[in-house]
């Protein structure tokens, strides 16, 4: 990331700004992780081929409104209106931050940029009002820009009203629509817009950005903590900055460590989770439950426990298969437990997120670790196969040569059915599927 961070301090001197606002991109070069978007818009402005409608698609917190404002700012910048030409390098196409239009933007006071939240203005009357105002010329810029956020929330009649204007808008009007749910935007609308799918921001880019912000803010942060924030924010810049903001408030002496984040998320360290794994390996359900309860008492969240448990199961399985020496203390126990059983507890764990989304996540987790601890009691697929082989090796009780023998039921199938039935009674259907 070559981004020169440009904190937005000028317009709000002396006033506290949340990080998400302070580090909102003011130039295309500030945009993190959406290079394609920036390149296309800069090229469009350079070659005077700016579409009259844009549709920005992407998950919440990814920067759709920020991008929309940046388009509005750039197409109204007086300097860019003058220099727009193919002789200019695309990366030079940036709002000047000095002209009357740019300055109005910096102060959030641009009269020609109208932001509408479709979630609270869903009706056809709201849309008619907007459309009527389209006919008036812009006050200080070249274009009137309508930014409609959460556009999928508009009613059908509101969409129809918008469609007419979107088909042939006045030359001084641009629409920038933003949505989290592309499938709810009618094709008639989306096909008339230049569409951008904004991507989740890469973890490495977010991590780097967080470290840069901390440097500017005078905060010391462990690289592992920066990475943890990047992972937790799941590709959303807004979430990353809001988590960082909380971590700064929780930190002591402006230092964010792993411990700061554990306290914040009710997280679990991998060292804390290994005794739980060991109790599952030793088929000790009572101990497993007591460990889970001890983790709760230190503030650990059931989802964090499950997520660390899954990480441990994965790491041990990989170690068993590849022979890598990590988790040395537990690898022997894992070997004894067997890769097939590890696969079975993994299968149970993958159902975890949906079970934990119930209203009683802590109870759901206890039930889950209990079932995991019982899995070791259940015969492995190899043992079942051996038992089946033993059964087949026994001489049949009726003479095989007689024609009637063919009518005898298939006993091996019957045995497997009996085993399945018994297993199902003991361990529930998940345990059976886990054998598959």
Measured from the CB of residue 276, what is the shortest distance to Zn ion in angstroms?
59
51 part of the interface to Zn ion, by CB under 5 A: no
96 part of the interface to Zn ion, by CB under 5 A: yes
356 part of the interface to Zn ion, by CB under 5 A: no
Binders of Zn ion among 100-139, rule CB under 5 A?
A: 102
Q: Exposed/middle/buried for 49, CB within 10 Å: 0-12, 13-18, 19+?
A: exposed
Distance, CA of 55 to chain centre: 21
Stretch that binds Zn ion, among 88-96, 140-148, 243-251, 255-263 (CB under 5 A): 88-96
Q: Is 48 helix (H, G, I), strand (E, B) or coil?
A: coil
Measured from the CB of residue 100, what is the shortest distance to Zn ion in angstroms?
8
Report CA Rg, the chain.
Answer: 30
Please work out the total of residues on this chain that contact Zn ion, with binding judged by CB under 5 A: 6
45 part of the interface to Zn ion, by CB under 5 A: no
Q: Which residues contact 282 (CB under 8 A, 6 or more apart)?
A: 333, 376
Stretch that binds Zn ion, among 49-57, 91-99, 267-275, 356-364 (CB under 5 A): 91-99
Tokens of 357: 């989304």
Measured from the CB of residue 7, what is the shortest distance to Zn ion in angstroms?
19
Phi–psi pair at 53, nearest 5 degrees: -140, 135
Measured from the CB of residue 96, what is the shortest distance to Zn ion in angstroms?
4
Residue from 91, 51, 291 nearest 177 by CA: 51
Residue from 222, 243, 247, 220 nearest 233 by CA: 243
Buried b (16+ CB within 10 A) or exposed e, 199-230: ebbebebbbbbbbbbbeebebebeeebbbbbb
**DSSP conformation letters of 78-100:** HHHHHH-STTS-GGG----S-SH
Nearer to Zn ion, 104 or 280 (CB): 104
Residue from 77, 153, 221, 309 in contact with Zn ion (CB under 5 A): 77
Nearer to Zn ion, 96 or 415 (CB): 96
Q: Exposed/middle/buried for 97, CB within 10 Å: 0-12, 13-18, 19+?
A: middle
Measured from the CB of residue 237, what is the shortest distance to Zn ion in angstroms?
24
Nearer to Zn ion, 96 or 320 (CB): 96
99 part of the interface to Zn ion, by CB under 5 A: yes
Nearer to Zn ion, 102 or 291 (CB): 102
Nearer to Zn ion, 95 or 376 (CB): 95
Residues that bind Zn ion (CB under 5 A): 77, 79, 95-96, 99, 102
């Amino acid at each position: 990331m070559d981004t020169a961070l440009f904190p937005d301090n000028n317009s709000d001197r002396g006033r506290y700004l949340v990080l998400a606002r302070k580090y909102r991109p003011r130039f295309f070069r500030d945009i993190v992780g959406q290079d394609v978007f920036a390149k296309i818009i800069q090229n469009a402005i350079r070659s005077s081929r700016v579409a009259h409608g844009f549709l920005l698609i992407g998950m919440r917190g990814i920067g759709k409104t920020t991008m929309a404002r940046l388009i509005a700012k750039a197409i109204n910048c007086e300097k860019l209106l003058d220099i727009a030409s193919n002789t200019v390098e695309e990366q030079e196409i940036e709002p000047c931050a000095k002209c009357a239009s740019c300055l109005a933007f910096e102060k959030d006071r641009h009269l020609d940029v109208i932001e509408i939240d479709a979630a609270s203005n869903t009706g056809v009357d709201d849309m008619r009002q907007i459309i009527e105002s389209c006919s008036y010329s812009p006050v200080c810029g070249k274009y009137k820009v309508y930014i409609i956020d959460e556009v999928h929330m508009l009613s059908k009649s509101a969409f129809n009203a918008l469609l007419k204007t979107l088909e042939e808008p006045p030359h001084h009007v641009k629409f920038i629509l933003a949505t989290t749910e592309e499938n709810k935007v009618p094709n008639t609308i989306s096909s008339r817009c230049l569409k951008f799918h904004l991507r989740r921001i890469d973890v490495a880019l977010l991590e780097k950005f967080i470290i840069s912000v901390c440097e500017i803010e005078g905060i010391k942060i462990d690289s592992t903590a920066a990475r943890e924030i990047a992972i937790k924010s799941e590709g959303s810049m807004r979430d990353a900055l809001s988590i960082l903001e909380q971590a700064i408030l929780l930190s002591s002496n402006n230092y964010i460590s792993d411990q700061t984040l554990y306290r914040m998320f009710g997280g679990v360290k991998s060292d804390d989770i290994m005794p739980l794994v060991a109790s599952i390996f030793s088929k000790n359900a009572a101990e497993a439950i007591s460990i889970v309860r001890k983790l709760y008492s230190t503030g650990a969240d059931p989802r964090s426990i499950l997520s660390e448990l899954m990480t441990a199961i994965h790491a041990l399985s990989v170690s068993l298969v590849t022979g890598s020496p990590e988790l040395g203390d537990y690898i022997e126990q894992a070997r004894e437990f067997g890769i097939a059983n590890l696969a079975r507890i993994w299968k149970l764990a993958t159902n975890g997120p949906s079970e934990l989304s119930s209203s009683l996540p802590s109870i759901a987790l206890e039930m889950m670790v209990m079932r995991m601890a019982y899995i070791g009691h259940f015969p492995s697929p190899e043992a079942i196969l051996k038992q089946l082989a033993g059964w087949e090796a026994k001489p049949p009780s009726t003479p095989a040569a007689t024609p009637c023998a063919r009518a005898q039921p298939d006993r091996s199938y019957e045995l497997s059915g009996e085993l399945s039935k018994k297993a199902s009674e003991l361990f529930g259907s998940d345990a059976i599927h886990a054998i598959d």
